[in-house]
Chains A and B, each alone.
Chain A
Amino acid sequence: MATQIIGSTVKRREDPRLITGNGTYTDNMTLPRMAYLTILRSPHAHARIKKIDASKARAMPGVLAVYTGNDLKNGGVNPIPVGWVLPDIKIGPHYPLALDTARYTGDGIAAVVAIDRFTAQDALDLIDVDYEPLPVVVNAEKATQPGAPQLHPEAANNIAFYWKIGGGDVERALAEADGVIKQRLINQRLIPNAIEPRAALADYQPATGQLTLYNTNQNPHIIRLLLALVLGQPEHKLRIASPDVGGGFGSKIYLYADEVIACFASKQLGRPVKWTEERTENYKATIHGRDHVSDVQIAYKKDGTITGLKVKTYANQGAYLSVFAPLVPTFLYGPMLQGPYTIPNVFVEVYGTNTNTTPVDAYRGAGRPEATYLLERMVDLVALELKMDPADVRRKNIIPPFLNGVYQTCMAYAYDSGDYAGNLERALTNAGYVELRKQQAEARKQGKVVGIGISTYTEITGAAPAQVAASLGAAAALVESALVRVFPLGKVQVMTGSHAHGQGHETTFAQIVADQLGLEVEDVEVVHGDTDRIPYGAGTYGSRSQAVGGAAIYVATQRVIEKGKKLAAHMLEAAEADLVFEDGKYSVKGVPSKAVKFTDVALEAYWPRKVPADVELGLEATAVFNPSNFTFPDGTHVAMVEVDPDTGKVTITKYVCVDDVGKVINPMIVEGQIHGGIVQGVGQALWEGAVYDDNGQLLSGSMMDYALPIASYFPKFETSRNETPSPVNPLGAKGAGEAGTVASTAAVANAVMDALKPFGVKHIDMPLTSEKVWRAMNGKL
């Protein structure tokens, strides 16, 4: 192939089915005799369940069954396990339906299975539950205080885990600093809002004992593993298929109670059972993200050098520990607090606490947006204190280029490659930073309230090097597998354990294979999301698919080429060592005319004519890729905002960014990921926030009250890339899925704070709603 397929824009192969309405989302599927499941959720955030009277619901025509927590427990259903077990972690058991206590307003109390959706919904109204309300706590810090309501007897003071990490000597740094700034920062709770609500369709075949679960999920093999443990269903008789999935953003990683109940019901009733989440239900029963309260101290020298950072964080875990929840505010957060800077002394301690709220787990960025926001706000506060330009404070502290090496932070991680300083300068140049500052000065003279914000970041992606992950507490291996299977006529199927739900893997993974084998992208079919078709997998989250999943495909493809070479040697009657593979042909070095096409080798592999009997036939290879390190994308985002001085309303007027996500397979797709990431991050800065009242009622319970970003809230983004290949995988890829989100929140928050500088405002917590900004401007905080 003359043109490189890797690195070029190829239109997505997913799109024809999706633009014509032919996607197969879980709720689109219908099976014969399918019944419908609905779940009654507690209207109380904390209550003792005194009595459940389901007799009227059971008597309703069309109702097949009503289950309670004890029905499931007596039926052998185990609590949902936690997949990231930290030392000394305290786990309050999470039964799919509450046994005697409801601990948040999404907690399932009873489940109805009926012959149609209407009946299943109507029957919920007929279940009479006698609750005794208990005191409620929703705040992560308050939950740890004496006298706070207790959620689980296992976790004293509601502390599910305490975790700390540090490097250098932060106390000494604080003591010896020219200045120390203390600030409390709140990273508010977010609701992921994949536009497709979750759904599950369980199909148990009593005759064979086979259970299939179709569901909205990012990692079917993890679900199979967990579901096998929860249900006692043997893995080899359990198939998880996640067809088209309408967005995940982390919220579809976990095993949820609802799909366990659907499986249990299908086994009990011997017929398919479907559950489809409603949006109001999604807001309560699907995980939330972020929700940190942090007390921060930053130590600096007069010249702007940052010498130390000390952080204490209360990370709200919600009512139960979700599958990966303990990972997020620890390893994905704490060690990333050094960020892209040379800060030599960092210490962080984290209290993961249970509260009467929806469980919190990984949501786009997971830990890194929290770390980046915290650090970038503090850097700006240093600039404010020293009356320095925020860009100059960043220049002073940013890690110098380490293009071919590694940079060891003062904590656990060694960054893989990068030109952080170069990307900062590129972004400032692209934004016309000097000119923007002049415009700002001019605008201020005219009474306008204008701000410029910078966010410089590095984040951690590509989970995970298995040994590192295990040492950090992973209960599930996060390596990735691939099977590349060549058919006799030269077409190829790739089975990957990664799962795409918008990321375009069916295109980019095909590009990797086509590029190497000298085929057209159309000749390669990517199969994902089905445990019966794919050898194994760990799924898609944490921007890992290209760096781990893509790398596995790359290695498997190389193995196919090597295997083919043995066959080609016989076909060409040449020594294997003399053969080269280029442009889809094996040829003898220096004798290009003596060649055999890859497709001919494929045919020979299955229908041998020249190959001796002792050579292994077939042409497929499996690889499991276990990277040597994580990957660390980085970049700088610059935002400009204008604030309406009368109302406090913030408008983004300019947005410029430079991101280094390593080697790019498909620039169009990477750019799309960055766009989406930016909008999601800005959503947190300006509008989004889950609001609970003191009773644990979620007041922002629908899209009417939870403000999601819409098109008219944004200008056109000016994005660009800088590619520093990662040395930890053969593709040189890092991760692109979360970078935009990691960076944009702080860029916009800093811009708003910069706009408010003339009003003497140093910090306000997100979301920076019109009212909050107006209050800040008018001294009414």
Chain B
Amino acid sequence: MALKIQGNILVDAPRDRVWKLLFDPQVLIAMANKIPGVEVERLAQIADDQYDGAATIGVAMIKGKYQGTITVLEKHAPEFVKFRGDGKSGGNWASGDMALTLAEQDGKTQMQYEGTGNVGGMLASVGQRLIDSVGKHLIEHGTRALAEELAAQSKK
């Protein structure tokens, strides 16, 4: 089931700093763990533009342990990056891509995101009525967490 995602967040950190932190697994782990229902087990860079990891993802009692990869599809430092993520958990899978456009704004970074997500397996066939909401929930909390984490890290 397809989800469409778009929006933008203001990150209280300069763009160059944000750009660097975006590719740091530790930042991504900290960000993800701030999302209610997400718990990262591991995330590591396995190639230049590829990460491999495992995390429990869900909302309330509906959750699964996903294994997957994040691949950087396109990168124009420091203003544009497009990722693709693929994960699977038992009979379920999730995949998606997300494009981030970064713009300077008074020493802060305006980050615009746009992407699509897809879910398959049992989740799609019995959970269709919740997928949209779960997706929104994860994105809403995820983007907020990302902004917070980037800002916090950048001040370190």
The chain A residues found within 8 Å of chain B, CB to CB, are: 40-41, 43-45, 105, 124-125, 133, 280, 283-284, 691, 693-695, 697-702, 704-705
A702 to B121, CA, bound (A): 13
Identify whether the interface residues of A are mostly helix, strand, loop, or mixed: loop
A105 to B1, CA, bound (A): 13
**CB-based nearest B residue for A43:** B121
Chain A min CB distance to B101 (Å): 26
B125 in contact with A702 (CB, 8 Å): yes
From the candidates B95, B122, B126, name the one contacting A704 in the complex (CB within 8 A): B126
A43 in contact with B128 (CB, 8 Å): no
B71 at the interface (CB under 8 A from A): no
**CB-based nearest A residue for B125:** A701
Name which of B2, B125, B129 has the most chain A CB atoms within 10 A of its CB: B125
Binds A, one of B34-42, B46-54, B73-81, B86-94: B86-94
Chain A residues within 8 Å of B92, by CB = 43
Chain A residues within 8 Å of B90, by CB = 125
14 other A-B residue contacts (CB within 8 Å) besides A133-B95, A280-B125: A40-B91, A43-B91, A43-B122, A45-B120, A284-B125, A693-B2, A694-B2, A695-B118, A697-B1, A697-B119, A698-B124, A702-B125, A705-B126, A705-B128
A699 to B124, CA, bound (A): 6
A626 to B4, CA, bound (A): 59
Chain A min CB distance to B69 (Å): 12
Name which of A40, A105, A125, A694 has the most chain B CB atoms within 10 A of its CB: A105
Name which of B91, B92, B120, B129 has the most chain A CB atoms within 10 A of its CB: B120
The chain B residues found within 8 Å of chain A, CB to CB, are: 1-2, 88, 90-93, 95, 118-122, 124-126, 128-129
**CB-based nearest A residue for B93:** A43
Chain A min CB distance to B19 (Å): 30
Name which of A44, A699, A704 has the most chain B CB atoms within 10 A of its CB: A699
29 sample A-B contacts, Cβ–Cβ < 8 Å, listed by A number: A40-B91, A43-B88, A43-B93, A43-B120, A44-B93, A44-B120, A105-B121, A105-B125, A125-B90, A125-B91, A133-B95, A283-B125, A694-B2, A695-B2, A695-B120, A697-B1, A697-B119, A697-B120, A697-B121, A697-B124, A697-B125, A698-B125, A699-B1, A699-B124, A700-B128, A701-B122, A701-B124, A701-B125, A705-B129
Chain B residues within 8 Å of A40, by CB = 91
Name which of B119, B126, B129 has the most chain A CB atoms within 10 A of its CB: B126
Chain B residues within 8 Å of A280, by CB = 122, 125-126
Chain B residues within 8 Å of A125, by CB = 90-91
From the candidates A41, A124, A693, name the one contacting B124 in the complex (CB within 8 A): A693
Chain B residues within 8 Å of A704, by CB = 126
From the candidates B88, B93, B126, name the one contacting A702 in the complex (CB within 8 A): B126
A-B pairs, top 3 by smallest CB distance, nearest first, are A701-B125, A43-B121, A697-B124
Supposing A43-B92, A44-B93, A694-B2 touch, asked if A699 and B128 sit within 8 A by C-beta, the answer is yes
Chain A min CB distance to B7 (Å): 23
Chain A residues within 8 Å of B119, by CB = 697
**CB-based nearest A residue for B92:** A43
Chain A residues within 8 Å of B95, by CB = 133
A698 to B125, CA, bound (A): 5
**CB-based nearest A residue for B1:** A693
A41 to B128, CA, bound (A): 19
Chain B residues within 8 Å of A702, by CB = 125-126
Chain B min CB distance to A111 (Å): 15
Chain A residues within 8 Å of B122, by CB = 43, 280, 701
**CB-based nearest B residue for A41:** B91
Chain A min CB distance to B124 (Å): 4
Chain A min CB distance to B79 (Å): 30
Chain B min CB distance to A756 (Å): 27
Chain B residues within 8 Å of A694, by CB = 2
Chain A min CB distance to B63 (Å): 15
A695 in contact with B125 (CB, 8 Å): no
A704 to B122, CA, bound (A): 13
Chain B residues within 8 Å of A133, by CB = 95
A448 to B88, CA, bound (A): 52
Chain B residues within 8 Å of A698, by CB = 124-125
Chain B min CB distance to A282 (Å): 11
Chain A residues within 8 Å of B118, by CB = 695
Chain B residues within 8 Å of A701, by CB = 122, 124-126, 128
A694 to B92, CA, bound (A): 16
A394 to B10, CA, bound (A): 67
Chain B min CB distance to A357 (Å): 13
B93 in contact with A699 (CB, 8 Å): no
Chain A residues within 8 Å of B1, by CB = 693, 695, 697, 699
Name which of A45, A284, A698 has the most chain B CB atoms within 10 A of its CB: A698
A105 to B124, CA, bound (A): 11
A697 to B125, CA, bound (A): 7
Chain B residues within 8 Å of A283, by CB = 125
Chain B residues within 8 Å of A695, by CB = 1-2, 118, 120, 124
Chain A residues within 8 Å of B91, by CB = 40-41, 43, 124-125
**CB-based nearest A residue for B124:** A697
Chain A min CB distance to B84 (Å): 12
A124 to B128, CA, bound (A): 23
**CB-based nearest A residue for B131:** A699
Chain A residues within 8 Å of B2, by CB = 693-695
Chain B residues within 8 Å of A44, by CB = 93, 120
A507 to B39, CA, bound (A): 62
**CB-based nearest A residue for B121:** A43
Chain B residues within 8 Å of A700, by CB = 125, 128
Chain A min CB distance to B21 (Å): 31
Chain B min CB distance to A736 (Å): 35
A702 to B129, CA, bound (A): 12
A694 to B1, CA, bound (A): 8
Chain B residues within 8 Å of A41, by CB = 91
Chain A min CB distance to B129 (Å): 7
Chain B residues within 8 Å of A124, by CB = 91
Chain A min CB distance to B149 (Å): 31
